[in-house]
Amino acid sequence: MSSVVSERSSVRPGAQPANAGAGYWPRATPFRAQLPPLAETLEAEFNIAQMRALARLWDIQLKGSSRNGFVAQVAEALAARVAQMRTNPEALLEGLPPDQAELARRLLTARDHELPLPRTLAASLWSRQVADSPDRSLTEALDALRRRALIFPTHRYTGYRDVYYQWLPLTASGGNVPVISWPVQRSASPDRTRPAGHTGAARFLDAFDLVLQAMISTGVSIRPPLAGHAQAGQISWLRRWEHDPQEAQRLLNSRPGWVPNPNSGISVPATSWLSPEAAITLENQTGLPAAECEFLFTIAAGLQLIEAPDFSAETANDDTRPSQAGRYVRARMSAVEAWYALSNEQRFLRAWTAWQETVPDAIEVILAAHSKSALHTPTSSAAHSDLPKQPLFKVMRAIGAREMGPLDLGAEWCALRRYLFRILRGLPRQQWVDWPTLRRALFDFHPDCAWTFMTPEHWWFANPDGLTRLQHRWYDDWVHSIGAVLEAALRGPLYWLGLVEIEEKPANATSEADKAGIALAAFRVTDMVDWVIQAQIVVSTSSEGPAAHTVPTLPATATPRPRAVAPVTWLDSATWRLPPAPNRAEFIAFARKIGEPTDTPFTYRLTPASIQSALREGITTEEVAAQFERFGAPAPEAALRQYRAIAERYGRVRLYESLTVLQLSDDYALPELLANTSLAQAIVYQISPRAVVIRADMLDELVREFVERGYTPAVT
């Protein structure tokens, strides 16, 4: 499979973390193609005869004789068809022959429609669609889709020895593209062999609230960075990555007198940022399994609801030895307040989008690498007591793939999650699906599904010793690598999010699934899959701001228990408590304008500085009083009196006597004096680019210095 990232490419999907810096967690940024308008593409791709033929294929009645008019009419008709996909994804394929429609479904299932489409991927899917098909047949199929203006050749990406195509813009569809239907199912509901407490659809928001409240009350410790090699700061393939220093030293010594082979691999540690002690604490505080606590922690980090250490400071330090103690972080209260001010639907969709798009920490990879047993039974002895010491596999990266960073690999995990969701979309609802059967079908369909932006030459799966590469084109190796990751995503994140219900194998089972190390026997898709589809359509096709989206109501199985919200109360004449709630979003924003947050959660205080800041925005005393009256918490008279007193003095002209002012002749003199003299030490206030207030006691010294440096000041 080809890659959209190569040594010649400047396109890096996860190269830049969003909100990177102290206090923010790095986020994988998914690659999105910047498509030109459809009319522009049609203008470049079709002459007037081809435009007439395209209109006949789509049954478009062209009017007039102008080529530009034809382009506008065809573009409008295709845009209308794309808009119909919001309610009927098959609208894109209406009128296509069965083989072309099937190829389009396969392509849209295997890869995001926003991404460029490599020909090698099309060839791989076509060869599985039609046995023994010659390359000419694939060429005909692709040309047929091109003649219908569904795909276009693109040269906007410098791929890895490949030819790329691009779908017509499908943004107006809300991502509701046609996918493959998987007719595998169980005829009857299975016997329930789940452990105690293993329920059906999970209430994600309830569980997330438990973990978030625990982190608000006590904070959370994250593990220290892994000890790095002593020369990691000077070695490019170690600098940005956590690694095993002994493994790195073996690579450095692998070819005495030569640099290591760039095709050599070094393992990517499968570790969570949550410290083992914190996992135990969260497990005891919430009653949730440690694995689920880790997942909820990664979602909170992806949403920036908790603080993060300064990753840039750590990576800049050549001393890669970790501190003895883990780092302690707390919730970011401004983000938490904004979170609780959202509706249940908005919160779930944001968490889902974070896991699909930006969370680089692959908890499902960690689970697949370390666990075959149940993930859902809480343990109290250790945070990872359900994880055996011997992993199933290791994730390896080539030391010669210097353009690949940790966030690029995180973008791969996000793309794999979106692929699995497209698989779920094609499954029957509320019917039990036999996992081993579906797993085999997924291997036959697209064994290379883990590589979207990179290739197996950039990174791969290996045996636990890291020496033998697992061949993802061999079914047994695929089962114990990619298949295990997909299974862990079903048994972990997708179950915790409530999109699937699962049946795990009995402890004493002796089926073929047991022999292959399978812990998941069957699962069924819930109504949450359809809810997510509809919610994504609303958000992606709405022209309003993010806070204005009205997404569908959550199904009853995913609706959290009603959360009691405390009233707004004044603690003293200057301090008030404002617990967040969906109907208080605007009031919270108002409170942050007139007050300063205190160390206590959801509590604000009026200060002279905050009042002056509010006055600069035009907030009057009457408006302050009206806002608090509206929420049943009238402001104390002392608070209004303080606000009114500062408002009366605000903006008045102040006159000062006995000031020493340095006035310059042009805008360039001040920077020159600051660079060549000690003027900076004497400045009290800068009035303008040509005038500054200086300390009177330093005037004589400055005049002498100016004269010595060749300036001729005039003292008046």
In this structure, the strands spanning 520-525 and 433-434 are antiparallel
Is 641 found in the same domain as 666? Answer: no
pLDDT at 148: 93
Residue 196 maps to a domain: no
Burial of 503 (0-12, 13-18, 19+ CB in 10 A): buried
Is 507 found in the same domain as 640? Answer: no
DSSP state string for 171-213: GGGTT-----------SSPPP--PPTT--SS--HHHHHHHHHH
**Dist CA 39 CA 284 (whole Å):** 59
pLDDT-derived band of residue 198, with 50, 70 and 90 as boundaries? very low
pLDDT at 189: 55
φ, ψ (nearest 5 deg) of residue 545? -70, 165
User: Which has the minimum average pLDDT: 38-52, 61-75, 145-159, 257-271?
Assistant: 145-159
pLDDT at 11: 39
pLDDT-derived band of residue 112, with 50, 70 and 90 as boundaries? very high
Rounded mean pLDDT of 589-612?
87
Nearest to 431 by CA among 173, 170, 151, 187: 187
Rounded mean pLDDT of 231-235?
88
Question: Are the beta carbons of 425 and 529 closer than 8 angstroms?
Answer: yes
For 303, residues 6+ apart whose C-beta sits below 8 A from its C-beta are 335, 339, 350, 351, 354
Rounded mean pLDDT of 291-305?
92
Nearest to 405 by CA among 30, 7, 16: 16
Is 215 found in the same domain as 165? Answer: no
**Dist CA 68 CA 40 (whole Å):** 10
Is 677 found in the same domain as 616? Answer: no
pLDDT at 33: 67
Residue 455 maps to a domain: yes
**Dist CA 383 CA 430 (whole Å):** 33
- Structure confidence by residue, pLDDT tens digits, 299-321: 999 999 998 876 654 443 333 33
User: Which one of 480, 512, 535 terminates a domain?
Assistant: 535
pLDDT of 485 higher than 90: yes
Residue 582 maps to a domain: yes
User: Which one of 490, 509, 535 terminates a domain?
Assistant: 535
pLDDT at 678: 87
For 663, residues 6+ apart whose C-beta sits below 8 A from its C-beta are 690, 691
**How many structural domains compose the chain?**
4
**Dist CA 178 CA 85 (whole Å):** 9
Q: At which residue do the structure tokens 């030490």 appear?
A: 681
- Structure confidence by residue, pLDDT tens digits, 662-671: 888 787 788 8
Residue 76 maps to a domain: yes
Q: Which residue has the higher pLDDT, 656 or 687?
A: 687
Is 670 found in the same domain as 638? Answer: no
Residue 21 maps to a domain: no
Rounded mean pLDDT of 152-181?
84
Burial of 188 (0-12, 13-18, 19+ CB in 10 A): exposed
Q: At which residue do the structure tokens 């970011």 appear?
A: 332
φ, ψ (nearest 5 deg) of residue 267? -75, 150
Nearest 5°: CA angle at 258, between 255 and 261?
65
- Structure confidence by residue, pLDDT tens digits, 519-546: 789 999 999 999 999 999 988 877 554 4
- Structure confidence by residue, pLDDT tens digits, 85-107: 999 999 999 989 988 999 999 99
φ, ψ (nearest 5 deg) of residue 23? 90, -10
Is 103 found in the same domain as 66? Answer: yes
User: Which has the minimum average pLDDT: 155-169, 191-205, 328-342, 502-516?
Assistant: 191-205
pLDDT of 158 higher than 60: no
Residue 520's beta-bridge partner residues?
A: 504
pLDDT at 551: 82
pLDDT at 436: 93
User: Which one of 173, 196, 222 terminates a domain?
Assistant: 173
pLDDT of 233 higher than 60: yes
Domain that holds residue 407: 204-535
pLDDT of 616 higher than 90: no
- Structure confidence by residue, pLDDT tens digits, 67-87: 888 999 999 999 999 999 999
pLDDT of 278 higher than 80: yes
Is 161 found in the same domain as 111? Answer: yes
Instruction: Give the helix, strand, coil percentages of the chain, each rounded to 5.
Output: 45, 10, 45
pLDDT of 343 higher than 60: yes
pTM: 0.81
How many other C-beta atoms can be found within 10 angstroms of the C-beta atom of residue 162?
19
Residue 501's beta-bridge partner residues?
A: 524
For 300, residues 6+ apart whose C-beta sits below 8 A from its C-beta are 208, 211, 212, 215, 306
For residue 356, the number of C-alpha atoms closer than 13 Å in the C-beta half-sphere is: 17
Residue 604's beta-bridge partner residues?
A: 576, 597
Question: Are the beta carbons of 429 and 525 closer than 8 angstroms?
Answer: yes
pLDDT at 654: 57
**Dist CA 269 CA 173 (whole Å):** 39
- Structure confidence by residue, pLDDT tens digits, 558-598: 888 877 778 888 988 889 888 888 778 788 888 888 888 88
pLDDT of 549 higher than 80: no
Rounded mean pLDDT of 329-339?
88
Nearest to 28 by CA among 486, 414, 348, 404: 414
User: What average pLDDT does the structure give for the chain?
Assistant: 82
Question: Are the beta carbons of 599 and 608 closer than 8 angstroms?
Answer: no
Residue 190 maps to a domain: no
Q: Which residue has the higher pLDDT, 423 or 136?
A: 423
pLDDT of 47 higher than 60: yes
Residue 438 maps to a domain: yes
Q: Which residue has the higher pLDDT, 710 or 604?
A: 604
Is 358 found in the same domain as 255? Answer: yes
pLDDT of 607 higher than 80: yes
- φ/ψ region of 680 (left if φ > 0, alpha if ψ in -120 to 50, else beta) reads alpha
The structure tokens listed for 589 are: 């924003």
pLDDT of 514 higher than 60: no
Q: Which residue has the higher pLDDT, 612 or 320?
A: 612
Is 636 found in the same domain as 677? Answer: no
Is 365 found in the same domain as 269? Answer: yes
Torsion of CA 513, 515, 520, 521, to 10 degrees: 30
Is 465 found in the same domain as 337? Answer: yes
Is 414 found in the same domain as 299? Answer: yes
- Structure confidence by residue, pLDDT tens digits, 395-408: 999 999 988 999 99
pLDDT of 206 higher than 80: yes
For the beta sheet containing 500-504, the strands, ordered from the edge strand earlier in sequence to the opposite edge, are 433-434, 520-525, 500-504
Residue 560 maps to a domain: no
Q: At which residue do the structure tokens 């206090």 appear?
A: 23
pLDDT of 53 higher than 60: yes
